[in-house]
A and B are shown apart, each in its own frame.
Chain A
């Protein structure tokens, strides 16, 4: 009798109990993240017999796009769609390759010498990697509208997560808002599952299509064109769509009650129990930045991306970045980037076992194919400045409750960048470490100074890249040199 929790004939879902004990102190390759990039990289390095460890903080592999792919209770394949189920092969190959997988593992420190610290099951330990491949993926762009911190306001990705892992759909008066392919995808998935959506508020700026036209040929030739059109038709036939939305407010006292929508200069209110926001994704840069990896501002994708070569190698020797964390490209591109980073690791550590150039060339070609159409999508769905740079009492830093008005006032002290701003106002000092406010803050400062976000920079990110219990840190091994550095008479 097959286990209803397990769709895939392979290793059982890894439990975290005892995982920490069975990993070694060093590996040829440590991969952080078991999404498409991490899975493809693991398959490439482990099948070349490099000792490979994959550390992922979720309960099972798949990252965000293939979340819960080995355990999802959503049995009907139509609901999540073919693009989702494609991930099964990646997982199978990675597991068959001989890589060691540890789920429930949070990497919270990585330095330039590739010494890592990872927390598994309430205990932290050190680890050394000859090569590190960071495949920590993307996060949702901040969507700072008035009231976005109210209970009842969530990201579209959040809804997709609980659909995949638990078979939940939004209940009550459901409103989606924002721009981007993912918004249409989650809408379709909710509808296919039998859920209802009361309204979809499209904030795609009107001028975007015109600006994106120059890239149209590439888009039409890409797999996204047909899929995207089909998806939009599917959703439009069932959901009230409000286009050209220029402003949004989430209204309520201690929870969401209404959404106010502005289009064509007029505001309309609708009752809502849940508001799902989405305006694109951006690389999750914290681990890479903490490791010293250089980043630059990508003006088309409106986010900071690592500076990488064609194999994903970063400015820190031995550390590569693959997947959406290298630049937003989607699942297929992520897998190819992971493959390329893995192949590069094999060439670096075991050149005699490296597959020939043909395999790398094939991955490069596949990556180019997967990236076709990206430019069009990036420009078409570029969020409006007003939704990236809020004003007034809109909260920018959720953790420390710092508003746009407070930031503007502080700028008048001659603040040049996010780190001085952080010192003066505490934005970026909360547990999320700037993941929810970093882009907003860099853009607000850039706007105030009249320069590019590249000139402004980003928060300085340091370990732990995720909060850890002090006890875990305190229980880690101590060196005589460290003791001498601290105990001084």
Chain B
């Protein structure tokens, strides 16, 4: 959906997305990294479980909620990438499961 312009300077930042390593750039938001990595469909609707992707990239739509370093429901568009950051998608809305026993 998006590509990086050529000749963009900046340090690379090593992150993982659902366990897969990805090279982002200093200053990227997590959402930008997800878009570049082709992992935009990072969320799921609460009611019907449909796929959602970031819509506004400015903290308003809440479609970009992911788990970052173990913390759930972070807005990816508001969090800058950092070396070693672990991003997990599917963290938006969880489905209701029956309790065990």
Q: Which of A59, A194, A398, A466 contacts B5 (CB 8 A)?
A: A194
Q: Which of A73, A154, A170 contacts B55 (CB 8 A)?
A: A154
| Contact A5 to B26, CB < 8 A, known contacts A74-B5, A171-B1 | yes
Q: Is the interface of B mostly helix, strand, loop or mixed?
A: loop
Within 8 A of A (CB), among B40-95: 40-41, 45-48, 50-63, 65, 71, 73, 77-78, 80
A352 within 8 A of B: no
Q: In the complex, are the beta carbons of B5 and A158 less than 8 A apart?
A: no
Q: In the complex, are the beta carbons of B57 and A71 less than 8 A apart?
A: no
Q: Which of A5, A150, A157, A255 contacts B57 (CB 8 A)?
A: A157
- Residues of A within 8 A of B (CB-CB), count: 54
Within 8 A of B (CB), among A121-178: 122, 139-140, 149-155, 157-158, 161-162, 165-172
Within 8 A of B (CB), among A344-366: none
User: A residues within 8 A CB of B78?
Assistant: 57-58, 104, 106
User: A residues within 8 A CB of B1?
Assistant: 152, 170-172, 273-274
**Chain A residue nearest to B1 in the complex (CB):** A274
A430 within 8 A of B: yes
Q: In the complex, are the beta carbons of A254 and B35 less than 8 A apart?
A: no
Interface residues on B, range: 35 or more
**Interface residue ranges, B against A (CB under 8 Å):** 1-5, 7-11, 25-29, 31-32, 35-36, 40-41, 45-48, 50-63, 65, 71, 73, 77-78, 80
- The contact sample of 28 A-B pairs, CB cut-off 8 A, is A4-B9, A4-B10, A5-B10, A64-B58, A75-B7, A122-B71, A139-B58, A140-B56, A140-B60, A149-B55, A162-B29, A165-B32, A166-B8, A166-B27, A166-B29, A167-B5, A168-B35, A254-B50, A255-B53, A273-B1, A274-B2, A398-B63, A401-B47, A401-B50, A431-B65, A432-B61, A432-B62, A436-B55
Among all A-B residue pairs, the 8 with the closest Cβ atoms: A151-B53, A158-B57, A167-B8, A431-B62, A171-B3, A4-B9, A168-B2, A167-B5
With contacts A165-B29, A399-B46 known, what are 14 further pairs, Cβ within 8 A? A5-B10, A73-B8, A73-B27, A75-B7, A106-B78, A139-B60, A149-B50, A155-B55, A158-B56, A162-B2, A166-B29, A166-B36, A171-B3, A255-B41
